[in-house]
Each structure stands twice: as structure tokens, then as C-alpha cells.
Amino acid sequence: MPLVRICLVSAFLIGRVSKLLHFDAAVAKQLHFGLQPGWLWAGLATFVKIAGSVCVIANRFTWLGAGGLAALTLVAMLVANHFWRLEGTARFVALNSFFEHLGLIAAFVMVTYLAFGERRSRI
């Protein structure tokens, strides 16, 4: 199961390490989506993605880590994948991305549920 947890959060970890190395790009991305101040949102996203990933991988405070990552994913879905305002190919691409993110949120719910079950079976 540890490999599955690593795979689940790998995009968050890789992306955030890259954004830490190029924090100005992370700030610019937040500003692009209208999130002000960009440095605050970039810093918050960095903290949640790294800390949440560590919680999920370590299987400790999984509910908190997965919950934070799911909440951040939900915000990203609503801010970046506004398919309801698009048409044609752009709508198709955004709609697909929206539902991919929804599936990722479901995976975070599942990993939390499984971690809770593992803890209960040890008691």
C-alpha cells in the first residue's frame, strides 16, 4: 500500500518541489487565475501539497493530509476548469480535466477510509 500512496500524491510532490525552485512561476500561476495575493496562495498551496503528501505517504494523520489535498483540488477544479463558460474543444478539455480532478478527490476519500479501517483493525 505505501507505493499506492506515493503514486497518489506524486504529482503534488513533484509539482511543488518544482514550484519551490521557481517560486516566482508559482506566484504568477496564482495571479493568472485571479488569486490575490499570489505569493500567499502559492505559499499556502506549497505547504498543503507537501505536508498533505507526507501525511498520506506516512499513513499518519491521513484524514488531514488527504482532506487538505482534496480541498485544494476542489478549489483548483472550480478556478481552473470552468468548462461551463467554454465552448468546443476547450470545453471538452476542461470538462475532462474537471472530472479527472473529481476522481482524484474520490481517491483521497478512499485512502482516508482505508487508513481508518487499518487503524480500527489494529485495536
Q: What residues does each domain of the chain span?
A: 2-122
pLDDT, position 72: 95
pLDDT in tens, the chain (123 residues): 789 999 999 999 998 888 889 999 999 999 999 999 999 999 999 999 999 999 999 999 999 999 999 999 999 999 888 899 999 999 999 999 999 999 999 999 999 999 988 766 665
Cα dist from 64 to 19, 21, 59, 85, whole Å: 22, 26, 10, 33
1 contact partners, CB below 8 Å, separation of at least 6: 59, 114
Q: pLDDT > 90: what percent of the chain?
A: 84
pTM > 0.95: yes or no: no
